[in-house]
Amino acid sequence: MPITRARIGVVVAFITHGLLYTSWTSRIPEIKADLNLSEGGLGLLLLAPPAGAIMAMPFTGALCARFGTKQVSRTLMAAYCLLLTAIGLGAGSVWTLAPALVLAGALVGAFDVAMNAQGATVEQTAKKPMMGSFHASWSLGAAAGAALGGICAQYGIPLWLQLGAFGVVLLAVAWPLTAPMIPDRQNAEGQREGRRSFRFELPLVLLGVVAFAGLLAEGAAADWTAVFLRDELDASAFVAGWGYGVFALAMFAGRMVSDVIVGRFGRGAAIAACAVVGALGMSAGMIISEAADSQAAFIVGLAFLGLGLAVIVPTLFGAAGDGPGIAVVSAIGYAGWLLGPVIIGGIAEAVTLPIAMWTIPALTLLGGIAAPLGVRALAKQREKGRQVGAGSVG
């Protein structure tokens, strides 16, 4: 069936994005050591990808409206696979690495916007929820990328060669599989849908704050867990890379069952319960790892964190309900994912990295507390709006 093949194409795009991106994040401790960077210096350097993404994302939206999400997704996937190796080519100096990371961030952000937009097109055409499975696919790819990056680090494979080889192989596999992606839906006038206005509602802003907290924790886990394992717990390059790999696998597992959890308990309760599990699990892992110098305890804590965070973003997007609502939530939330590594680096520079890492479970817990409030407020506001609309018609 065409929709099945299109769904497979989107899954492949998400896997490609996650695998290639995390294959380089597992090399961050090596880059930090090679360039003799402090935690604060590394945090500032990691501000470069967010800068590139923020610049690229508005242009990507315009390109999708002009050329369609299928064509833009496939074009950006090719650029992403072939040009992300710039990170490895620029890794010899801060002055060459910073612009390379800006380029990489632009590619990451642009491809992310395009593939999510195509995912929304497929979901709307199929008329059943699929976004959770798409994000689960990203987590699966991220776990594989972290593991492969750890292996490359262990055996001293140059980063430019790693990224170049992975990119070429991924593109060769993914390009034909993404061909069945579908054109965007069109309205009665034959124009693409999706050009709706940006809607501002206070409950949506609250959900955006929850997304900010959850994605900040996720971004910080991606960029700082390997550094924590290497510098604080003396883990090998392989184990440090697998720390995030375990986290990503847990995210994958959580997203695979997120629809069942939400259906059983409701959106607000599901986010709250999972956030508490994630925050308490990571907190216990950090306490035990610091007391017993245990790498395993910290990695188990990361697994609980991944399970807790997995439910948050897909569920928030479902609560937002439509394109304008998702735009508000994602705009606020994505800022958290981008700024998380920088915030952790700044706190680590001011105090210590172990203290800075406590920001992750703290924000996860706060997000879980706020989520039910936002979900209920948004539901009440929209129900009131429907009643007013029905009264006006009558």
Rounded to 5 degrees, what angle do the CA atoms 79, 222, 231 make? 125
Q: If you search the block for the tokens 């935690």, which residue do you land on?
A: 39
Across the range 69-98, mean pLDDT stands at 92
User: 306 burial class (0-12, 13-18, 19+ CB within 10 angstroms)?
Assistant: buried
**pLDDT tens track for 24-54:** 887 888 888 889 888 778 878 887 887 787 7
Under the banding of pLDDT at 50, 70 and 90, the label for residue 198 is: very low
- CA distances, 394 to each of 382, 383, 388 (Å): 18, 16, 10
Across the range 235-251, mean pLDDT stands at 84
Q: Worst-scoring range by mean pLDDT, 291-300, 316-325, 326-335, 365-374?
A: 316-325
Beta bridge partners of 192: 186
CB atoms within 10 A of CB 384: 10
Residue 276 scores a pLDDT above 80 = yes
Residue 333, SS3 per DSSP: helix
Across the range 302-316, mean pLDDT stands at 89
pLDDT at 291: 87
pLDDT at 389: 54
pLDDT at 326: 61
CA 322, 326, 329, 331 torsion-angle sign: negative
Does the pTM surpass 0.75? The reply is: no
Query: Is there a common fold for 1-180 and 196-394?
Result: yes
Residue 207 scores a pLDDT above 60 = yes
* Higher pLDDT among residues 362 and 262, named by residue: 362
Q: Worst-scoring range by mean pLDDT, 130-134, 146-150, 249-253, 317-321?
A: 317-321
Give 87-94 contacts, CB < 8 A, sequence gap 24+: 87/24, 87/159, 87/160, 87/163, 88/24, 88/158, 88/159, 88/160, 88/161, 88/162, 88/163, 88/164, 89/160, 91/31, 91/34, 91/35, 91/159, 91/160, 92/34, 93/35, 94/35, 94/37, 94/45
Measured between alpha carbons, how far is 88 from 82 in angstroms, rounded to an integer?
12
Q: Where are the domains of the chain?
A: 1-180, 196-394
Q: Worst-scoring range by mean pLDDT, 9-23, 103-117, 379-393?
A: 379-393
pLDDT at 128: 74
Residue 186 scores a pLDDT above 60 = no
In percent, how much of the chain has pLDDT > 70?
90
pLDDT at 183: 86
Under the banding of pLDDT at 50, 70 and 90, the label for residue 196 is: very low
Rounded to 5 degrees, what angle do the CA atoms 317, 322, 325 make? 70
Q: What is the DSSP letter of 257?
A: S
Are the C-beta atoms of 99 and 52 separated by less than 8 Å? Answer: no
**pLDDT tens track for 331-359:** 777 778 777 777 888 888 888 888 998 99
Residue 234, SS3 per DSSP: coil
pLDDT at 358: 92
Are the C-beta atoms of 357 and 224 separated by less than 8 Å? Answer: yes
Determine the residue type at 183.
P
Mean predicted lDDT score pLDDT of the chain: 83
pLDDT at 189: 43
- Domain 196-394 in this protein, CATH class: mainly alpha
**pLDDT tens track for 209-229:** 898 988 888 888 877 888 888
Residue 170 scores a pLDDT above 90 = yes
Residue 362 scores a pLDDT above 60 = yes
pLDDT at 388: 57
Measured between alpha carbons, how far is 91 from 162 in angstroms, rounded to an integer?
13
Contacting residues for 204 by C-beta, under 8 A, at least 6 apart: 320, 325, 328, 329, 374, 378
Under the banding of pLDDT at 50, 70 and 90, the label for residue 321 is: low
- Domain 1-180 in this protein, CATH class: mainly alpha
Across the range 350-376, mean pLDDT stands at 89
